[in-house]
Amino acid sequence: GEKVEQHESTLSVREGDSAVINCTYTDTASSYFPWYKQEAGKSLHFVIDIRSNVDRKQSQRLIVLLDKKAKRFSLHITATQPEDSAIYFCAASNSGSWQLIFGSGTQLTVMP
Amino acid sequence: GGIITQTPKFLIGQEGQKLTLKCQQNFNHDTMYWYRQDSGKGLRLIYYSITENDLQKGDLSEGYDASREKKSSFSLTVTSAQKNEMAVFLCASSPWGGADTGQLYFGEGSKLTVL
C-alpha cells in the first residue's frame, strides 16, 4: 500500500527565514496531497493542499510544490513567524480513495 | 461553523479492559474517521464510516470495534487494552466523498493510557 515518508522530523529556522518540509510517496496513483498543522496541545487543522493536475500552489506565505516524476512534494513557508511553530503533517490519497495516508510529522520551531 | 467533540479527553484503563471513545460532530458531514496518533509515527486509520450504519476497516482495525448509529456520532471501542499502551485517538469528519474531496476536520483528541 501507499507509504508517505516525511524526511525531516525536526526543523529549526530563524524568524523571517523560509522553512521547507519534504515528503515522498510510493503510489504513482496518488493524486491528492494535503498538509495539516498541529499546534502544541491542539488537534490538526488543514493548511493547504495540491492535486496532481498542477505542480505548484500558493496560499499567502505557504507554497506547495509537487514533482510527480520524483514522487515528491514539499511545503515552503516563507517569512516565518513564531506562530508557525507546530508539527506539520503531509498526507497523500488516491482519487476516490477513503484513506488518507499521513507522514510521521515535522516539528517546526521558529526562533526569534 | 461546526465542531467535533470527543469524549473523554483523557482515558485511563487497565490491561484487558474494554474502553469506548465517543465522537460527535455538528457539521452534518457524511464521512467520519478514527485515527490513532503515536509519537513519531503520524496518524494511522483505524475505522471510517461513509454514512450512518456504515463501517469500513482501516489499516489498524485489529483490536478495535466501531459504531455509527447516527450520522452525527461515531464511537470507537478498544476491545482489550494493552498494558503500557499510550496513544492519542483522533476523530475526524468530511462532508462527503473520498479523502481527496476536501479537508478533514479533526476533534481535539482522546488520550489513552493503559496501566
Chain A residue numbers with beta carbons less than 8 Å from the beta carbon of B59 are 1, 99
CA distances from B108 to A10, A28, A56, A111, B82 (A): 23, 33, 31, 26, 23
Q: What is the pLDDT of residue A38?
A: 94
Q: What is the pLDDT of residue B85?
A: 81
Q: What is the pLDDT of residue B41?
A: 78
The answer to whether B72 and B24 are in contact (CB under 8 A) is: yes
pLDDT interval class at A41 (50, 70, 90):
confident
**What is the chain A residue with the closest CA to B108?**
A43
| Chain CA centroid to CA A96, Å | 21
- Overall average pLDDT of the A74-83 stretch: 98
Test B99 with A32 for CB contact under 8 angstroms: yes
Report the alpha-carbon distance of residue B23 to residue B40 in Å, rounded: 24
Q: Does residue A6 carry a pLDDT above 80?
A: yes
Contacts of B1 by beta carbon, 8 Å cutoff, 6+ apart: none
Q: Which parts of chain B have pLDDT scores under 70?
A: none
Contacts of A110 by beta carbon, 8 Å cutoff, 6+ apart: A12, A13, A14, A15, A19, A80, A81, A82, A83, A84, A85
pLDDT interval class at A95 (50, 70, 90):
confident
DSSP reduced 3-state for A8: coil
Q: Does residue A97 carry a pLDDT above 90?
A: no
Integer-rounded Cα radius of gyration of chain B? 13
How close A90 gets to chain B, by Cα (Å)? 9
- Residue A53: name the closest of A66, A40, A70 by CA: A66
Chain A residue numbers with beta carbons less than 8 Å from the beta carbon of B41 are 104
Please provide the average confidence, as pLDDT, over all residues in chain A.
Answer: 95
Chain A residue numbers with beta carbons less than 8 Å from the beta carbon of B43 are 44, 89, 102
Q: Does residue A77 carry a pLDDT above 80?
A: yes
Q: Which residues of B lie inside 8 Å of A (Cβ-Cβ)?
A: 31, 35, 40-45, 48, 50, 56, 58-59, 90, 92, 98-100, 103-109
